[in-house]
């Protein structure tokens, strides 16, 4: 019934080698992303801009626009994919994703509210508001999803997430309708975009994302055990409450950091872990590092595609991921969700 050959346990050497290959692919797509843009800049000039900078317009474009853009896509794609994988493992819910469960919407609302009420216009403080918003939304969606009889189920969690996302997004829209100035400042950001982010903002989000990624990788083995179910994991001697709390913290750091950088980019956290599982199996020790690399590759490619499709116009990367993720979501609902 299922493609069993793909689910066989892969040996560690093959999987380690695969990570190196994925890293190479990531490097290649980053180079492609830096090479292609609105202005035609030759490979030699790009090289020179990186290693013998002379301050010319072309060099400036490479250094301040294209390189940060590619790096932001790497960070955001990796963060969201890992956050999604951790959420799917811990909640045993194939539809868990920081976008679908309202965590990104929470971070986005917090940022928009901060811009509107506090008049904060610098992107740099987005990070802290995004984190707080992500954390609050995570607490609310988890409380809603586990309320009532039978505790937390995939269906309840997903419905709670959808409801919360709708509520938070409409509040965000409400603020933007009332306040054109805020709208102008955050419009492109809100659609999910990796363009126009300066290195300063990246440096602020970087430590959070790094701590989140490291934490996720350390949790890998425990998430695998927890994915067998709460009672089984506790019977095996796991302190599940601690693992869940640590996982929630990791998700908030990664999703909050990603939203601060690029706005709410949907579906990366949903699609990538499933694709990765198809190749590496169900062990989170491998799912998590592969998700980080695959998510980064996916978002860089989505961003490049967004630049090419309507040239010279650009589509925000969030639109591109939704184009891929929407149909995939329907596929999951139809075939993969057991009640």
Asked whether 73 and 295 are in contact (CB, 8 A), the reply is: no
* Whole-number Cα distances in Å, 321 to 85, 225, 317: 17, 30, 6
Using CB under 8 A as the binding rule, whether residue 225 contacts other proteins is answered as yes
Q: Which of residues 9-28 bind other proteins (CB under 8 A)?
A: 9
Q: How far apart are CA 18 and CA 90, in angstroms?
A: 25
Q: How far apart are CA 62 and CA 71, in angstroms?
A: 12
* Whole-number Cα distances in Å, 179 to 105, 192, 245, 307: 19, 20, 37, 29
Using CB under 8 A as the binding rule, whether residue 291 contacts other proteins is answered as no
Using CB under 8 A as the binding rule, whether residue 231 contacts other proteins is answered as yes
Return the half-sphere exposure (C-beta side, CA atoms, 13 A cut-off) of residue 17: 5
Q: How far apart are CA 96 and CA 108, in angstroms?
A: 18
DSSP assignment letter at 5: G
Q: How far apart are CA 227 and CA 220, in angstroms?
A: 11
Q: How far apart are CA 160 and CA 154, in angstroms?
A: 10
Q: Which residue, 27 or 241, is less far from other proteins as judged by CB?
A: 241
Place of tokens 């706005």: 263
Q: How far is the CB of 2 from other proteins (least distance, A)?
A: 6
Q: Which of 113, 169, 281, 305 binds other proteins (CB under 8 A)?
A: 281
Q: How far is the CB of 93 from other proteins (least distance, A)?
A: 11
Q: Which of 19, 48, 63, 92 binds other proteins (CB under 8 A)?
A: 92
Asked whether 110 and 168 are in contact (CB, 8 A), the reply is: no
Q: How far apart are CA 102 and CA 167, in angstroms?
A: 9
Contact pattern from residue 44 through residue 83 relative to other proteins, giving x for each residue in contact according to CB under 8 A and a dash for the rest: ----------------------------------------
Q: How far is the CB of 87 from other proteins (least distance, A)?
A: 14
Q: How far is the CB of 158 from other proteins (least distance, A)?
A: 17
Using CB under 8 A as the binding rule, whether residue 285 contacts other proteins is answered as no
Residue span binding other proteins (CB under 8 A) among the ranges 50-58, 137-145, 229-237, 261-269: 229-237
Using CB under 8 A as the binding rule, whether residue 2 contacts other proteins is answered as yes
Q: Which residue, 165 or 225, is less far from other proteins as judged by CB?
A: 225
Q: How far is the CB of 232 from other proteins (least distance, A)?
A: 5
Q: Which of 160, 165, 172, 224 binds other proteins (CB under 8 A)?
A: 224
Count residues binding other proteins (CB under 8 A): 28
Using CB under 8 A as the binding rule, whether residue 337 contacts other proteins is answered as no
Q: Which of residues 239-258 bind other proteins (CB under 8 A)?
A: 239
Angle at 324 between CA 186 and CA 269, to 5 degrees: 70
Q: How far apart are CA 167 and CA 28, in angstroms?
A: 40
Contacts with other proteins by CB under 8 A lie at 1-2, 4, 7-9, 92, 218, 221, 224-225, 227-229, 231-232, 234-239, 277, 281-283, 336, 338
């Amino acid at each position: 019934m299922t493609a069993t050959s793909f689910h066989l346990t892969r040996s560690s050497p093959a999987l380690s080698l695969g990570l190196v290959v994925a890293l190479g692919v990531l490097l290649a797509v980053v180079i492609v992303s830096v090479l292609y843009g609105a202005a035609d800049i030759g490979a030699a000039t790009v090289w020179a801009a990186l290693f013998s900078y002379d301050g010319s317009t072309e060099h400036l474009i490479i250094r301040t626009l294209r390189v940060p853009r590619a790096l932001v896509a790497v960070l955001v794609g990796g963060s969201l994919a890992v956050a999604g994988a951790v959420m799917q493992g811990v909640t045993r819910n194939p539809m868990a994703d920081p976008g679908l469960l309202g965590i990104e919407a929470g971070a986005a609302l917090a940022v928009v509210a901060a811009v509107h009420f506090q008049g904060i216009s610098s992107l740099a403080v987005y990070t802290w508001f995004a984190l707080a918003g992500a954390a609050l939304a995570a607490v609310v969606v988890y409380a809603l999803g586990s309320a009532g009889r039978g505790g937390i189920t995939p269906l309840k969690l997903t419905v709670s997430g959808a409801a919360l996302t709708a509520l938070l997004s409409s509040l965000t829209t409400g603020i933007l309708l009332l306040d054109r100035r805020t709208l102008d400042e955050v419009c492109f950001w809100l659609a999910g975009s990796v363009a126009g982010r300066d290195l300063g903002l990246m440096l602020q989000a970087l430590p959070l994302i790094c701590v989140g990624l490291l934490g996720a990788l350390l949790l890998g083995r425990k998430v695998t055990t927890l994915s067998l179910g709460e009672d089984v994991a506790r019977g095996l001697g796991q302190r599940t409450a601690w693992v869940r709390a640590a996982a929630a913290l990791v998700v908030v750091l990664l999703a909050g950091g990603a939203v601060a950088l690029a706005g709410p980019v949907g579906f990366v956290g949903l699609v990538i872990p499933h694709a990765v599982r198809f190749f590496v199996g169900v062990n989170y020790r491998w799912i998590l590092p592969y998700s980080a690399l695959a998510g980064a590759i996916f978002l860089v490619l989505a961003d490049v595609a967004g630049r090419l499709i309507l040239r010279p116009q650009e589509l925000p990367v969030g639109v591109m991921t939704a184009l891929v993720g929407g149909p995939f979501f329907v596929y999951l609902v139809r075939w993969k969700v057991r009640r």
